[in-house]
Structure 1
Amino acid sequence: MLGVHPDDHQKMERFLRRIQKTGTDSVECRYVGPGGEIRWLRTRAEKAEANRIVGVTFDISEQKEAEEEIWRSANHDALTRLPNRNLFQQRLEAALTQAGQKGTSVSLLLIDLDDFKDINDTLGHDAGDALLQETARRLSTIVRSYDTVARIGGDEFAVLVVEPLKLENATRLGSLIAEVLRQPFTYQKRTLVSRVSIGVAAFPDHDGTPAELVKDADIAMYQAKSQGRNRVTTYSPEMRRVLEQRVSLGRDLREALANNEIVPFYQPKVNLATGEIVGLEALARWHHPGRGVLTPSVFGAVFEDHDIAASIGKMLTGRVARDVRQWLDLGIPFGRIALNLSPAEFSQPGLVDNMLRTFDWIKVPASCFEVEVTETVLLGRNSDNVSCALAEFRQHGVQIALDDFGTGYASMTHLKQFPVDHIKIDRSFVRDLEQNSDDEAIIAAVISLGRSLQFQVTAEGVETHGQARRLRELGCNHAQGYLYARPMAASQVPDVLTQWNAMLIRPRPERMTSHLLHYQNP
């Protein structure tokens, strides 16, 4: 065994035993030279006499190096040198098999860089590549030698950890990874901060097959992103149930769109000083063939799918424009119609042009409309695009309303940064207005702010005469809620508007409200 690499001693012993048994055999092993260099040798030998073996040995080091390079290229990511998806899958399968046999554990962490596209778009792909390499380096320093860090997608990494780590340890490891990756990184004198969303799943806590465990971790990572990103989320079976329901709902909504089952319902906005209806908010409803009229409380989750959300918005815009055209032809005053725009619609190219083209095609003035956006839209990653779109709407006579005001972040900043004509006080402040002095103080402050900035102010969710009276005393412009009317089908709007306007001889909100109770539709 002189010169044979220690790790290959057993292999050589088996080789010699096979020759004694069969008369001939071959073997590949490593040889350690006098200077410590390692060479690969292939030996073929046969039994010549009882105690004599003869054979020939070839140096196959170059062949082995070429084979190793081919294997490395096929199983590693060229940019980061980490195992790729193929090798990661092999190691996951092996780890789960071993854990099942030994009764141990396997944990999987899927890591997605939250801001990677922004870095590519603003600093270029060289910066993105540098960030991926730095991420790989940092991940490799955190895990143990027998765990696996892999790059399995463009900006997605996986960490596979095995015994003795349990699920709770893996979750803590996820938090450590997030903290390490958040440390500033300098590229060409620019300081970058990388935030990640991490999904954690484990065997035996969750699923035991490679495909299902990856799906568990992926669902958890999706949950982390949907909750605002920059967090670690551990999988639970409830997450999968919710996701499967959302997928099923998405299929049903696509069919509903094809069958023209998505329709607008309208809820009036009332001037608190004069009693006039000054506008209507268009709200999405699903006219389900078996379940009747459904509200977004049932199907709102599909708005996370940008394609479906954009399709719903486009369909509603066309339907609302046709309803407006009919009311104009009837000569019924209705004020402005508010259209709610989701984040998905602002991600679509040509949003403003498409809406204005629809108005022009149906021959309705853009000044008949306002668009409502929530602070979620303004806080989104494409806030610059949102600002430009809102400014363009405003240039064409479409007013801008900020919905659910006070429930998000940095509302004052938004009022300064974005073109806004109208703010809507969220119903959560109106609900306890008569009992809660803090809510009243907040509403009073918003109304005062609106007056100073010359904004219209509408209170949402008004349900009692006391709420309406107090809002009027505080100087609120408009109110909207079940006290006046529930959202109604387009076919009911002309009668409601006509009869409401006929009652405006020194209007009394109590009298008008009792009349509109006839229209308490879903």
Structure 2
Amino acid sequence: MLTGLIDLGRALWRRAGTAWPIPPAADHKSVLLLRLENLDVLARHLGKAGLNHLLVSLSVRLGRALRPEDPVQIPDPGIFAVILTGRREDQAMQVARRLLDQAGRPLAVAGQSVRPVLTGVLIHADAPERPDPGDMIDDARSRLDDAGAEMLGEVTLFAHDARAGCGKLPATVADAAQAGQIVAHFQPQLCCNSGRVTGFEALARWQHPTRGLLLPGTFLPRMAEADHRALTLSMLRQSMAALKAWDRAGWQVPTVSVNISNCELSDPDFATGLLWELDRQDVRPERLVLEVLENVAPVTSSAEAGQNLSRLAQAGCRLDLDDFGTGYASLDVIRQFGIHRIKIDRSFVMGCDLDAGQQRMILAILALARRLDIAVLAEGVETAAEHGFLAQIGCDEVQGYAIARPMPVEETGEFLARHLRRTSDLPGVPRRNAG
């Protein structure tokens, strides 16, 4: 989708008589970056074709509100970059606010009216400074990634910081993975009945050289296919290495879970490569849990995705259906792909010890899982009260801040030792049958 949008953008500007790439850097003083905040919601609502239509319509709408010499680019889906030439800071800010207002108005897409929600960052450099536009865009990206809730739906002005535009820093997740900056943090999963650690989930972090430790929310939404593949490969290798490290230390950690996206599953060679890597690392397939989102279903996935999942399941890898209750998977996905465990989304877990509505939803999911003979893990458990309630109603496993935050592999041994001391004398929690 990204390549098609960029090619389309280039074609539009050639047709309009505007050269690509953008004009010489000496003429530029301001860069506006607009990010579509409800991209994921719109993508699910409109589908791929509808989302493409929306992004192109927004680009055209922005272009019509600008001078011909102020080009609009779509560097990534949901990101719009506008180069403003020859304007003072106050003039650039006035234009930026006008563009944000224009872009946020309702649009008709596929017979539906949708309202985009955008956040903007304006980077301005006063003369005689002549920064490279690419560096200014990198600066704006950095500011957007760090944007707090108070910046949502607004345009915020910043003076250009040349250090933020350093071209030598990794620009993509794939670059970061190659540089060894993608690190796995591990969050434990506990059995509600025995209290033992049943496994860890590997969660990606970007150890950025200038911005510190970045959480997935700052880089996942704007990843290209190459980034997804590089990230997954890095996480799989680190997860297998963690299993071997735990074994050497004498810790009994049965499994490690890794998130897998549609991008990897659609690769015809994914299962072959993963099974080869498991064999090379001497890790049994049943110790690797692959977490797939609920929308990975026969009706939406490619044939390659189904074949990869089936082959991996037959080889012994365990499959989790992640974020259960927030997507649109049918029961057929559980049957066809042999799902071993469903993970109740944190939106159902929050306040479950007090909210009767949350309790009814969780009990219904548990009853369904019992009938299908699959395990249930509740994620996002943040309080001891939520943990206690879930244990009493028969939830199999829990994961969340109430147990532990994600931690580097070097800290997992200390956690395991501390947890073993704390739970060695505790009795199991009686379970109630949910269905």
Q: Give the corresponding residue for 2:405.
A: 486
In the alignment, does 2:329 pair up with 1:473?
Answer: no
Alignment partners' CA distance in 2, 1:204 and 1:89: 10
What amino acid sits opposite 1:470 in the alignment?
F
Q: 1:86 to 1:313 in 2, by over 3 A?
A: closer
**Partner residue of 1:208 out of 67, 70, 90:** 67
Alignment partners' CA distance in 2, 1:370 and 1:420: 10
Rg larger for: 1
Q: 1:215 to 1:429 in 2, by over 3 A?
A: closer
Where does 1:292-331 land on structure 2 (aligned, <5 Å)? 292-303=212-223, 305-331=224-250
Q: CA RMSD in A?
A: 4.0
Work out the percentage of aligned pairs sharing the same amino acid. Answer: 26
What amino acid sits opposite 1:251 in the alignment?
A
SS at match of 2:319: strand
Q: 1:278 to 1:214 in 2, by over 3 A?
A: closer
SS at match of 1:377: coil
Which of 1 and 2 has higher RCO (CA within 8 Å, sep 6+)?
Answer: 2
In the alignment, does 2:223 pair up with 1:271?
Answer: no
Q: 1:210 to 1:355 in 2, by over 3 A?
A: same
1:363 Cα deviation from its structure 2 partner: 1.4
Q: 1:90 to 1:400 in 2, by over 3 A?
A: closer
Q: 1:89 to 1:264 in 2, by over 3 A?
A: closer
Q: 1:87 to 1:385 in 2, by over 3 A?
A: closer
Q: 1:379 to 1:284 in 2, by over 3 A?
A: farther
1:408 Cα deviation from its structure 2 partner: 0.7
SS at match of 1:394: helix
1:205 Cα deviation from its structure 2 partner: 5.1
- The CA deviation string for residues 236-259 of structure 1, in whole angstroms up to 9 with x for no partner, is 985798997399998143432221
Detail structure 1 runs of 4+ shifted over 6 Å in the superposition.
Answer: 84-91, 218-223, 231-237, 239-244, 246-250
In the alignment, does 2:140 pair up with 1:284?
Answer: no
What amino acid sits opposite 2:208 in the alignment?
H
- The CA deviation string for residues 20-72 of structure 1, in whole angstroms up to 9 with x for no partner, is xxxxxxxxxxxxxxxxxxxxxxxxxxxxxxxxxxxxxxxxxxxxxxxxxxxxx
Q: 1:350 to 1:211 in 2, by over 3 A?
A: farther
In the alignment, does 2:116 pair up with 1:197?
Answer: no
What amino acid sits opposite 2:400 in the alignment?
G
Q: Give the corresponding residue for 1:341.
A: 260
Alignment partners' CA distance in 2, 1:400 and 1:392: 11
- The CA deviation string for residues 328-363 of structure 1, in whole angstroms up to 9 with x for no partner, is 222210121111102221233311111111111121
Alignment partners' CA distance in 2, 1:289 and 1:335: 34
Alignment partners' CA distance in 2, 1:205 and 1:291: 36
In the alignment, does 2:301 pair up with 1:445?
Answer: no
SS at match of 2:296: helix
Alignment partners' CA distance in 2, 1:416 and 1:353: 23
Name structure 2 gaps, 5 residues minimum: 1-7, 19-48, 82-102, 104-108, 123-136, 146-164, 430-435
How many residues align structurally?
A: 324
**Partner residue of 1:412 out of 326, 331, 338:** 331
SS at match of 1:337: strand
Q: 1:208 to 1:271 in 2, by over 3 A?
A: same
1:203 Cα deviation from its structure 2 partner: 7.4
SS at match of 2:171: helix
Where does 1:344-359 land on structure 2 (aligned, <5 Å)? 344-359=263-278
- The CA deviation string for residues 98-143 of structure 1, in whole angstroms up to 9 with x for no partner, is xxxxxxxxxxxxxxxxxxxxxxxxxxxxxxxxxxxxxxxxxxxxxx
* Structure with a larger share of its residues in helix: 1
Alignment partners' CA distance in 1, 2:329 and 2:172: 37
1:446 Cα deviation from its structure 2 partner: 0.5
TM-score of the pair, normalised by structure 1: 0.54
What amino acid sits opposite 1:208 in the alignment?
R
- The CA deviation string for residues 278-337 of structure 1, in whole angstroms up to 9 with x for no partner, is 11111111122333322102222233x111111011111111111211222222101211
Where does 1:146-165 land on structure 2 (aligned, <5 Å)? none
Where does 1:95-134 land on structure 2 (aligned, <5 Å)? none
Q: Give the corresponding residue for 2:173.
A: 253
- The CA deviation string for residues 203-240 of structure 1, in whole angstroms up to 9 with x for no partner, is 78522328836869x969999xxxxx957778898579
- The CA deviation string for residues 412-456 of structure 1, in whole angstroms up to 9 with x for no partner, is 343234321100000011112123211110100111111111111
Alignment partners' CA distance in 1, 2:11 and 2:245: 63
In the alignment, does 2:380 pair up with 1:461?
Answer: yes
1:378 Cα deviation from its structure 2 partner: 3.2
The answer (yes or no) to whether the contact 1:197–1:221 under 8 Å persists in 2 is: no
- The CA deviation string for residues 63-83 of structure 1, in whole angstroms up to 9 with x for no partner, is xxxxxxxxxxxxxxxxxxxxx
